[in-house]
């Protein structure tokens, strides 16, 4: 059964990001100082993959 685009937009919403602007700014600053992504991700309580994805968005 195919659903209309209106039904899809009413029922499916993207997940909110676990990385807000403040966390991202902290992560970028720490990364720029040479801190490892592993250490930054652990300190912020996010996965390395998530951190790499968000850091890469600005590159």
Q: Is residue 25 part of a domain?
A: yes
- Residues with Cβ < 8 Å from 35, sequence gap 6 or more? none
Q: Is residue 31 part of a domain?
A: yes
The pLDDT assigned to 47 comes to: 93
What CA–CA distance (Å, rounded) separates 25 from 37?
14
Q: Which DSSP string do the residues of the chain spell out, in sequence order?
A: ----HHHHHHH--PPPPS--HHHHHHHHHHHHTT--HHHHHHHHT--HHHHHHHHHHH-
Domain count, the chain: 1
Q: What is the pLDDT of residues 16-30, one digit of tens each?
A: 778 889 999 999 999
pLDDT tens for the chain, residues 1 to 59: 566 677 667 767 777 778 889 999 999 999 999 999 999 999 999 999 999 999 887 54
Range of the domain at 44: 17-58
Q: Is residue 5 part of a domain?
A: no
For the full predicted model, state whether its pTM sits above 0.85: no
């Amino acid at each position: 059964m195919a659903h209309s685009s209106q039904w899809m937009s009413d029922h499916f919403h993207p997940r909110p990001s676990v990385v807000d602007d403040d966390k991202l700014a902290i992560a970028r600053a720490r990364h720029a100082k040479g801190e490892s992504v592993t250490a930054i991700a652990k300190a912020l309580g996010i996965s390395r993959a998530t951190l790499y994805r968000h850091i890469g968005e600005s590159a």
